[in-house]
Amino acid sequence: MMNIVTVRSVNDPNKTYQFNDNGEPMRGGIKDVYFSPDKSYVVALFRDKLDENQKERLKRITNYYRPQIQNKEAADYFLEEVFRWPADVVEHRGLTGIIVPTYKGKFFFKQGHETGDLIKGKEKNGKWFAAAKFRNEQFPLRVAKAELGNWLSYFQICVNLVRGVKKMHAMGLAHSDLSYNNVLIDPIEKSACMIDLDGLVVPGLFPAEVIGTAEFIAPEVLATKHLDKADPNRVLPSRLTDLHALPVLIYMFLLHRHPLKGGKVHNLDTEMDDLLSMGKGALFIEHPTDHSNRPKVNRFSKWDLPWSDINKLPYSITGPYLTEMFNRTFIEGLHHPQERPPAESWEQALLKTVDLMQQCTNPSCSEGWYVFDNSTEPKCPFCGTKHKGTLPILDFYYEFSPGVWKPDNSRLMVYNNQYLFNWHVDRNVVRNERLDPKDRVPVGYFTFYEGQWVLVNQKLEHMKDLTVNKDVPVNEMIVLTQGKKILLSTEEGGRLVLITITNEKQS
């Protein structure tokens, strides 16, 4: 039965919205959710009456912060892709509601579980993709292979989430309750979206009302949660606690286990033990010297393998850049919030890692991609398949002073049909959501052609083979050989690459 209810905007009394009150709303934690008749948005009504401060927060999120995103760079990327940002605030029979655009179709399971249709058509809550058991081929209610994507998918997912947090922090906001429950994931189209953004924290103006979701709460918040809210020693969610929750989420999406849930017993009482192991006594399960919290594999559910085995799949499989970031977060920064790296560093570390990825040559490999381990005989850590054939590596250098080139701490692993982009060519081009559309187009590509690796120049006007001092014009190719030096651009910021061919023994 259609029962269309019209509600009025609090921000702009001339604006109205409609929803279909079918008597059976979708029940969220604190809100009842109704669809608009055309299903383009939802009206989410808070079940309890909100106080003035809570209403003011919602008004601010919709009439101040939303336009801020709208009027700045990459507005579409943030509002259409990364965030489901509340659009307006309404009142209905004394209750407050928010208008939120409907989630995109890609965030609903097409198939769901491998067998049965229990979750078919349901939201792709992040938890389905974070936990190990839902990808274990023996688990009866595993998520369908066709829904899981490959390892590379999760890097783009993490990049989206990291950029969302980066944007909030740039606006002076803190998320305060980042968790797999507040994100929707699509590994197929490689997308992620942050939802439930009505509780954002504005320091000094709108304090946190929640301390977060159990597995994501920062140690200092848990360690002081027994203190009164007015106690100066009490720590509440902030930008710095987001910088704990975000890496926990990244670690879980890439490694499908929790970075702090190990074997160390702090207290015989379960709740006390949990509070200590995530709070005051928190210790990284893969701490390089303190092994007291290493997981006991025999205590894990069999469904959690192989991901729960940190000997087989240590965090170092995420590559050198992310390993360092995890160290800074879960070792140095775990109990020193100021040491935690900012969201932007995570973005760059993730993107640089993507440049180190190789396709696994085993077509039935569950992950399909892996990070090059800097060895002369690379192999896939997931299925153990050794890389077949030679593997060219490009190390980037920048001109420190005229004629003096220094390493740029970045590298590109070549695979067949790998592309070269301007962010590789020019050190002034930063790969982020504000990237100019012209820089999103490849400038060259790599391919294995007639028994050798070649780089085809598509757009670079001043590419030069420095080894033989010869220009490589557009639409010509250059063969990649051991020790070759190629100048990609003569412009300021232009990079030089040094070619290393690895895995020669195997070919």
Partner 1 sequence: MRRLPVYFLLDTSGSMYGEPIQALNNALSGMINTLRSDAQALDSLWISIITFDREVKEVVPLTELVQFRLPEITCPQSGPTNTGAALDFVMNKVRQDVIKGSDTQKGDWKPLLFLFTDGKPSDIQLYHEKTAEVRAFDFGAVVGCAAGHLANDAMLKQLTDNVVHLDSADSQTLKTFFKWVSETIEQGNKSQGTGEVSKLPPPPSEITVVI
Q: Does 251 bind partner 1 (CB under 8 A)?
A: no
Q: 418 near 435, Cβ under 8 Å?
A: no
- Could you give the string, one character per residue 339-378, with x where binding to partner 1 holds by CB under 8 A and - elsewhere? ------------x--x------------------------
Using the rule CB under 8 A, is 267 a contact of partner 1? yes
Chosen residue from 5, 118, 227, 479 binding partner 1 by CB under 8 A: 118
Is residue 22 a contact point for partner 1 (CB under 8 A)?
no
CB atoms within 10 A of CB 400: 11
Stretch in the footprint of partner 1 (CB under 8 A) among 155-163, 374-382, 480-488, 493-501? 155-163
Tell the smallest beta-carbon distance from residue 456 to partner 1 (Å): 6
Torsion angles phi and psi, residue 325, rounded to 5:
-65, -40
260-269 — which CB contacts under 8 Å span 24+ positions?
260/284, 260/285, 260/293, 260/330, 261/215, 261/285, 261/295, 262/293, 262/294, 262/295, 263/293, 263/294, 263/295, 263/296, 263/299, 264/292, 264/293
Binding to partner 1, residues 469-488 (CB under 8 A) = 475-477
Which two three-digit tokens encode residue 44?
């989410």
Candidates 83-91, 260-268, 382-390, 479-487: pick the segment binding partner 1 (CB under 8 A). 260-268
Using CB under 8 A, which residues numbered 377 to 436 contact partner 1? Answer: 416-417, 419, 421, 431, 435
Q: How far is the CB of 34 from partner 1 (least distance, A)?
A: 18
User: Which amino acid is located at 110 in the chain?
Assistant: K
> Rg of the chain over CA atoms, in angstroms?
25
CA 325/CA 332 separation, integer angstroms: 10
Out of 31, 57, 133, 340, the only residue in the binding site for partner 1 (CB under 8 A) is 133
Q: Which of 40, 233, 270, 289 binds partner 1 (CB under 8 A)?
A: 270
Window of 66-74, 240-248, 270-278, 488-496 that interacts with partner 1 by CB under 8 A: 270-278
CA 7 remoteness from chain centre:
36
Residue with tokens 């799949």: 313
Picking from 180, 265, 165, the residue whose alpha carbon sits closest to that of residue 215 is: 180
DSSP three-state, residue 240? helix
- Choose among 383, 260, 372: nearest CA to 320: 372
Identify residues 212-241 at the interface with partner 1 (CB under 8 A). Answer: 212-214, 216
Q: Please, which residue, 152 or 188, has the CB nearer to partner 1? A: 152
Tell me: does residue 20 bind partner 1 (CB under 8 A). no
Q: How many residues in the chain?
A: 507
Q: Does 166 bind partner 1 (CB under 8 A)?
A: no
Structure tokens at 169: 């922090």
Q: Which chain residues interact with partner 1 by CB under 8 A? A: 27, 118-119, 122, 125, 127-128, 131, 133-134, 139-141, 152, 155-156, 159, 177, 179, 181, 190, 212-214, 216, 263, 265, 267-271, 273-274, 299-301, 303-304, 351, 354, 416-417, 419, 421, 431, 435, 440, 442, 445, 447, 449, 454, 456, 458, 475-477
